[in-house]
Structure 1
């Protein structure tokens, strides 16, 4: 018993000693050296003075205050940091019992911050840097509850069509990055799956440096997502529901719109763990009016096939994501991520056709028929991604980063195309069924090194990208019919892409000049094997991609910038697939296994002006495009048009981009972005063995604007406009597209809870309608897509602690692009 009492006494004594050894604390305050205002969310690292190893880290509160508690006795250093400011170290602090006061730590703005244009109201909403423009997603209230597309479409020079196609400076081809990580996917697909509520900032990189992948004609859009900033738990949850539709086109099904997303973040000491999930159902109802004709010069006839009817979408997606960041010490950090998700979309196009054939010379009727086309196209995909990154920081401040990504995408779907008699639609004239399976596997490995030299840094690296696709495609017709080249309508395809690249670049500052220049080399191979073709379709490319950027400060209010970048817009596996799909009764779509990628030269020259109430920038830009990829029409049969992906000669584009953020008074802020450009495409091309000349040239413009009115501390109103003028295409033009909207938001619980009402696609001035027209020597087609107007949505958001900065959740490398 005495022995037990002795052990208990010793145990309590040790606990008491440990408790007494951890009663020390350090407190202090972080402020701006110039304005003397407190800095909220500044990062403070606690380091051992002996070896500068990391002990703990916290962020400052709204008044700039911070405190480390329960510290063991010893000597420590503090390192304070905040974006746009120079890091600052404290003197050595001795910690014993009690609280050691580090006092006021003043951070001075870095030269980078001085070279940025900031619009300050309640927050910094826009920044212009040497190579990019950066925008706060929170300023676009109408995007809340939607997808990242609803945020992106508000940026200067960004436009979104009625079909959801996104363009930057008039170019549909550009690259998407998520928190700096490249996503080799088409923008529409990947951004539609990301909740707008998860987006913190958007960077528009119009003349990317050699460090970035050279993919994308229009440059790069980098999405920066939110993460927790405080130690402990951070939770954000959002829910959205659509009110009953106010537009009725007599469709067979009614749209449903609802969804929810949640992000949890836990930070403590060396660990930072995030988990996120979302479900979104976002249907679109609509109507379609089409008119088309083909000319048959052999039989001397003209066949007209106008159509009208429903065109609506059922769309939903859900996913779960997690990432784990571990900082072993000041020199070594690790990050791992996992993404599992599913996406579904079907498109109904139930159209009534009135076909007539007449004599081409006299217009005398030859025959006519009326039939009903029931068309259902389904796309599905299950996605799995995993990534791992390791960062090593050396004593000379150089860094080495190694990263790996694996992706598997199980893509499958079908098109069911039924031509039915009318009005007795129970009788089938023809049924065409196109099922497919397209599993894809992709890998990426990269190694990046950064070395401080002088007043700048030298960066270099290597990257390997590799992906394969095994596709099986069928074309089943009931009753069976004879058709030319029947063997090519069904079969399998195997595609393989491999890209090896190395780069080096140097960036630095000299007095008022900030600069960067670099060179990237790529060796790429592409192989396409088709079941009915014994000869592989092989393409080997060896290319250099130089880049250069300059930013010069004329004075405190004016700056000038210039940039150049060589780019490539690569082909997708869908564009390479020559096995046809009967997408509609009137269309047959196929790719070209010998399609060449686009090569683009980008150049820009601009000015930036910063003044008391806001900022203004303007940029002149030029693009030269070699081998522009276009989807062109030709005649397959009297009532069927072929849509073929092909290279259409060459193109050039030049334009002027302007943008401004203003806050004339405390309760009103205004944002405007506009783009005016001239596009020309020209070339003698071959479409399925038929020589064709393509030429078009015209001006186009876009305007994105919103006004925010702060009616009270907790109530705000925002009006939004997105307008895209008519613009030229290779064989015709697309009409204007106009989308106005209004939102009201009310906050509660000191901003932690908010409720909003959105009025989307306000139904005036022909809103939410778009007509697409193409023509050639022997055909003409025009289609008017009429989408829902006056859509009302209710949003609820809850935040426990604030989110900001980067949440590095993994995102699709290739699967979404091929969806």
Structure 2
């Protein structure tokens, strides 16, 4: 009996010590080393010292505190990581005690080879590095429930006009990356399928190094999405609904606005898996006013055809996404991604035209008629994307990465253009139907090697890109006409692009000077085969793309930088396709199969300044452009204009970009970005065999401002405004564009749940917001159109977070974008 009692006692002691050992808690508070402010949602990972296996992880709370519990006795390393700060590694010894208190742990802002400056108010809103600017996405409340495009339009030098066209430093030509992976063309189609709530950061790479693709006149935008940081499951979900419209444009249907997105992440041991899905219905009501005239010098007549009526959009998209990362030991890792999405857009323009023809010399009327034009343009696409990456790290810390990306984009749509009698709209004068199918297949293979050489890093790589597009276009007219060139309006256009690239760059630091110098070589071929042209249209290019970036630290708060890179703006298949589309009653759209790409020299000089309550940056930049691609008009018939793509000889742009992040007091933060530049385009234009001269220049500026007021722990109010001034085009001018927004936010459950009421496109009957005017003119035509979009839109957004998401999710990204959509 005594022996049994001894055994039981020994077991109880052993059990109690085991429980005690497995319930040790490690805690502390994380702060900014300079400002002494707490850092929330920083990543804390605990690794075994003997083999670096992760045994636990947690994010810091809003007050900077953290706790890791149920730990065993042993020796560990605590890795502390936060965007914009140096990683810190702390030795931790856990012995026979229930609590290990590290006290206050501080992090230092980065000052290494990717030097940056930060604004810290619990979170880092913005940072500047040697070649880029980085912005936290969730600081823009007006974008919640929207898409990546809604976040982008708030950044300095980024503007989005009424047609949804994105420009950077005044240029619509830029390369988009998603988690470092490129999108070959204008990526609005893909960006509109990424929920704003899934974005972590956006980087503006204004002076890209040779490591990046040289595509894009004005640099690169890199979208970084969220993933989980904690071991176990993390979940974020958002639901959005629009309140009834407050403005009425006599549209046939009331706009529908609702949507939601969800992301689930699982992280354990060697696995990091993320799945997500989203749906967004975002219709827009609107109105259109137009005034056009054409001159026929042969007949000595002038034809006027002003119009007005509905111009509205039905838009929806949905997508599912999956990414997985598997670490096979410390030296090998695999990642795979899959994306499947659908986008639909239907633009309805129901317009009343009043046509009149007069004698050009005397102005005496010859004829007049009124008719009703109903034009429905539908664009749809299904996107299937997949990627596979492998990285091996050698014993000398060098690394080799192989990446493979595949995409299939099934693009299709049609335009239904009906000219009807008026007011008797049951009388059909003419019906034109333009259906098309335009599937794309794309592949990309990339191999990168990096090794430390001396005090710097040498990176080299090879990349092969290949894509094909097989477009089928049709054209039906009822009643049939004897149109002589009708064969040009139907047929096929098959395009093929191949690009081989080699690059090498070296980065390092000499005292206070940091540098990245590199050179990229590309050999590219482009072939376009047309059904009505027996000779293929071919283009071969062999080019070098040098780059150089310098950053000099004058002191802890002042840094100077300089950069140069050579870029290329490639043509896409929409710009090359010469088969005309009857976009609406007065316009035919077509491309040029012999269009040349643009070559650009980018130069910038800048400074960044940090101080106690914020930071400021200023950059002077210059772009010299050869063969700028222009979209211009010419007369096809008395009541129809051709809208075509062509090359001008040259263009140049020089400007000043600035930005500021300020926090004058704890409850008020202010973000301000601005850009002012002078753009000039000049030289000969060739439009469908007709030559003309362009020489147009003007000053343009844009302002993006965002102000946030924290009323108390749970309530906050934010206001923001996006303004784009008048700007010159090859044949005219686009009007100013103004969009003010405001929102009020309430959080619950310690920030896990939030409700936001958004007031978008504020106008209050002043008729100033969310409207875009476009004017073009030539020797024999003049056209001006005013697009009036819906104002005073109210949205309600609910967000729920079960363990905050942070970091980068390696999703596959599209090679093709809005230029094909």
CA distance in 2, matches of 1:360, 1:643: 24
Aligned with 2:119: secondary structure?
coil
Residue equivalent to 1:669: 669
Counterpart pick for 1:799 among 794, 798, 801: 801
* Preserved CA contact (<8 Å) 2:84 2:127: no
Q: Matched residues in 2 for 1:780 and 1:529: separation?
A: 34
Name the CA distance, whole Å, in 2 between partners of 1:746 and 1:130. 37
Offset of 1:48 from its aligned partner?
Answer: 5.6
SS at match of 2:575: helix
Select the residue among 782, 794, 798 that pairs with 2:784. Answer: 782
Choose 715-724 or 183-192, whichever is displaced more: 183-192
**In the superposition, relative to structure 1, how do residues 579 and 60 fare at CA in structure 2: closer, same or farther (>3 Å)?**
closer
- 8 A Cα contact 1:30 1:42, kept in partner: no
Residues 353 and 529 (structure 1), Cα distance of their counterparts in 2 relative to 1, 3 Å cut:
same
What displacement does 1:708 show? Answer: 1.2
Q: How does 1:383-782 map to 2 (within 5 A)?
A: 383-763=383-763, 764=766, 766-782=768-784
> What TM-score do you get using the length of structure 2 for normalisation?
0.94
Comparing 394-403 with 113-122, greater Cα deviation is found at: 113-122
- Separation in 1, partners of 2:311, 2:804: 41
Counterpart CA distance in 1 for 2:769 and 2:818 is 29
Equivalent residue, structure 2, for 1:313: 313
Q: How does 1:329-344 map to 2 (within 5 A)?
A: 329-344=329-344
- Deviates further, 287-296 or 503-512: 503-512
Residues 573-603 of structure 1 deviation map (CA, whole Å, 9 limit, x = unaligned): 1111111100111111111111111111110
Q: Which deviates further from its counterpart, 179-188 or 694-703?
A: 179-188
Structure 1 residues 245-284: Cα deviation after superposition (integer angstroms, max 9, x where no partner) = 1111111111111111111111111111111100000011
* Helix, strand or coil at the partner of 2:438: strand
CA distance in 2 between partners of 1:33 and 1:783 (Å): 53
Following superposition, the deviation at residue 818 of structure 1 comes to 1.5
2:119 aligned with 1:119: yes
User: Structure 1, residues 447-491: CA drift from partner, whole Å, max 9, x if none?
Assistant: 111112233211111111111111110011111112232222111
Change (3 A) 1:769 1:24: closer
Aligned residue for 1:190, secondary structure, equals helix
Displacement of 1:190:
2.2
Q: Which runs of 5+ in 1 are unaligned?
A: 1-11
Distance 2:473 2:213 in 1: 32
Q: Which moved more, 1:110-119 or 1:252-261?
A: 110-119
Mapped to 2, the partners of 1:90 and 1:667 lie a distance apart of: 33
Q: What corresponds to 2:266 in structure 1?
A: 266
Q: Deviation at 1:417?
A: 0.5
Relative to structure 1, the CA distance from residue 426 to residue 17 in structure 2 (aligned partners, 3 Å threshold; closer, same or farther) is same
Structure-1-length-normalised TM-score:
0.94
Distance of 2:496 and 2:474 partners within structure 1: 21
Shift of 1:65: 4.1
Question: Residues 490 and 608 (structure 1 numbering): CA distance in 2 closer, same or farther, change over 3 Å?
Answer: same
Q: In structure 2, how many angstroms separate the alpha carbons of the residues matched to 1:39 and 1:364?
A: 76
Check the 8 A contact 1:84/1:113 in 2, yes or no. Answer: no
- Counterparts of 2:667 and 2:613, CA distance in 1: 13
2:380 match: secondary structure: strand
- Where do 1:65-144 residues align within 5 Å? 65-67=66-68, 69=70, 79-89=79-89, 109-112=109-112, 115-144=115-144
Task: Tell me the matched-pair count.
Answer: 804
Distance in 2 (CA, whole Å) between partners of 1:139 and 1:805 is 16
Q: Distance in 2 between matches of 1:159 and 1:189?
A: 17
The 5 Å alignment of 1:346-357 reads: 346-357=346-357
1:278 maps to what in 2? 278
Structure 1 range deviating more: 310-319 or 668-677? 668-677
User: What SS does the corresponding residue of 1:595 show, helix, strand or coil?
Assistant: coil
User: Does the CA contact (< 8 Å) of 1:184 and 1:817 recur in 2?
Assistant: no
1:808 is paired with a residue whose SS is: coil
SS of the equivalent of 1:575 reads helix
Alignment RMSD, CA only?
2.5
CA distance in 2, matches of 1:812, 1:83: 26
Q: Which moved further from structure 2: 345-354 or 449-458?
A: 449-458
Task: Tell me the CA shift for residue 375 of structure 1.
Answer: 0.4
The separation in 2 between residues aligned to 1:815 and 1:727, in whole angstroms, is: 25
**Counterpart contact for 1:29–1:60, Cα < 8 Å:** no
